Amino acid sequence: MVRLKEIYFFCLFCGWIPPAFYFTREVICISKDVRINEEIRARDVRVVDPEGNQLGIMPLRDALRLAEEKQLDLVEIAPQAKPPVCRVMDFGKHKYEQSKRDKEAKKKQRIISVKEIKMRPNIEDHDFNVKSKNAARFLKDGDKIKATIIFRGREIVHPALGQKLLERLAIELKELANVERYPKLEGKNMIMIMAPKLDVKQD
């Protein structure tokens, strides 16, 4: 009986989409270490042609001859099936295209980092504007912002000043970001987290 992993492996190579019940949690990963051509050990194999058509069961030597006539490879895609399933295909081209897809997917991935903006409760307007512009630049780059108000000495008895400052920053950046975590006092610091909006155009 063909196991679920082999069915999934078969789908990857043949382009066949099975009923949804095949895809359960048992299907975790597919090994990239496949046998091709003379590496295949089975005496008989079930053969699939390059277009995904099933050619039936045949002796391995006949399957290898068929692949050789087409100047392609015979790839064992479901080794645990009885008999194993093999596909006639250009394995080198397949590996190259898979590598390109993996690289493209990796390019599209982005690690979101958190940039910290530190301010004092009595910050001057000019300095505040500089901090706000820096925060805007970070958000456009797709990063989150951790805005921190640092209280010193008796400044801690006036937390409302810090909260007012963070709320002002949130208003300044409302077109670029959403407040993910509202101002909260942690020890002698007040912290607010902002995340870039999904529709923000990144430079």
Task: Write out pLDDT tens, residues 70-105.
Answer: 999 999 988 888 999 999 999 888 888 888 888 888
- Specify whether 17 is located in the same domain as 73: yes
pLDDT of amino acid 202 = 56
Looking up residue 172, the CATH number of its domain turns out to be 3.30.110.10
CB 163 within 8 A of CB 183: yes
Q: Is residue 185 part of a domain?
A: yes
Same-domain status, 104 and 9: yes
Task: Give the whole-angstrom CA distance, residue 74 versus residue 43.
Answer: 14
Q: Same domain, yes or no, for 120 and 98? A: no
Q: Which of 108, 123, 143 is the last residue of a domain?
A: 108
pLDDT at 203: 52
Q: Which two tokens stand for residue 46?
A: 């079930």
> Based on the domain organization, do 10 and 104 belong to the same domain?
yes
Residues 6 or more apart whose Cβ sits within 8 Å of residue 120: 149, 150, 152, 155
67, 149: one domain:
no
When divided into structural domains, the chain yields a total of 2
The reply to whether 77 and 92 lie within a common domain is yes
DSSP class per residue in 39-105: G---SEEEEE-TTS-EEEEEEHHHHHHHHHHTT-EEEEEETTSSSPEEEEE-HHHHHHHHHHHHHHH
CA distance 58 to 48: 11
Do the Cβ atoms of 83 and 89 come closer than 8 Å? no
Instruction: Report helix angle 159-172 to 125-140, nearest 10.
Output: 50
pLDDT (tens digit per residue) in 101-146:
888 887 777 677 899 999 999 999 999 999 999 999 999 988 999 9
pTM over 0.85? The answer is no
Is 39 a member of any domain? yes
Structural domain boundaries enclosing 62: 4-108
Instruction: Indicate if 104 and 161 belong to the same structural domain.
Output: no
Domain contains 127 = yes
- Phi first, then psi: give them for residue 181, nearest 5 degrees: -140, 120
Q: What is the pLDDT of residues 9-46, one digit of tens each?
A: 445 444 443 433 333 333 323 346 788 899 999 999 99
